[in-house]
Amino acid sequence: MFEVDQHIGRNLARRVQVIAVDDSGPIQTITVIGLADEYFTLPLRAQPFGLSGVPPVGSVGYLFAANGRLDQAFLMGMEHPDFRPRDLASGACQMYGKAGQSITHDELGNTIIKAAPGKTVSINPTS
């Protein structure tokens, strides 16, 4: 047993920045840099079923080390400050990509699907 295991409530959180992402295998691997040039390559990023994304290099989020142990670390909240939607109304949500495409559910119950500038929205494409 590790000494830190005796203190189950002791967790560790660090703000980190994405420097590389490998999405080629069954588990997405992200390399991040933290405080004092600490580098971590982690095979676990919290993503809900049915929604998958690859955060761009430069995205910022949090590394959580369960029980204070870095071998149990996971990432959450990978957002890039240049691409994150701003000024959404209370109760609205938006799924977005870095090219400017988005699906917005506004506060009034409307759903707005928007292609990136100069691109198209395709529903059930044949190719």
Which tens digit of pLDDT belongs to each residue from 49-69?
A: 888 899 999 999 999 988 888
Confidence of residue 27 (pLDDT cuts 50, 70, 90): confident
127 falls within a domain: no
**Would 32 be classed as within a structural domain?**
yes
Same domain, 115 and 58: no
Tell whether 61 and 7 lie within a shared domain: yes
CB atoms within 10 A of CB 104: 17
The β-bridge relationship of strands 29-33 and 39-42 is antiparallel
pLDDT at 8 > cutoff 90: no
Domain count, the chain: 2
Nearest to 47 by CA among 69, 68, 21: 21
Q: Has residue 103 been placed in a domain?
A: yes
125 domain residue, yes or no = no
Domain span holding position 96 = 85-120
3-state secondary structure the chain: CCHHHHCCCCCEEEEEEEEEEECCCCCCEEEEECHHHCEEEECCECCCCCCCCCCCCCCEEEEEEHHHCHHHEEEEEEECCCCCCCCCCCCCEEEECCCCCEEEECCCCCEEEECCCCCCCCCCCCC
CA dist 46 → 1, 43, 75, 92, 115 (Å): 27, 10, 6, 22, 27
Q: Has residue 96 been placed in a domain? A: yes
CATH of the domain at 69: 2.40.50
67 and 28 in one domain?
yes
- Predicted TM-score of the model (pTM): 0.80
pLDDT above 70 (res 9): no
pLDDT at 13 over 90: no
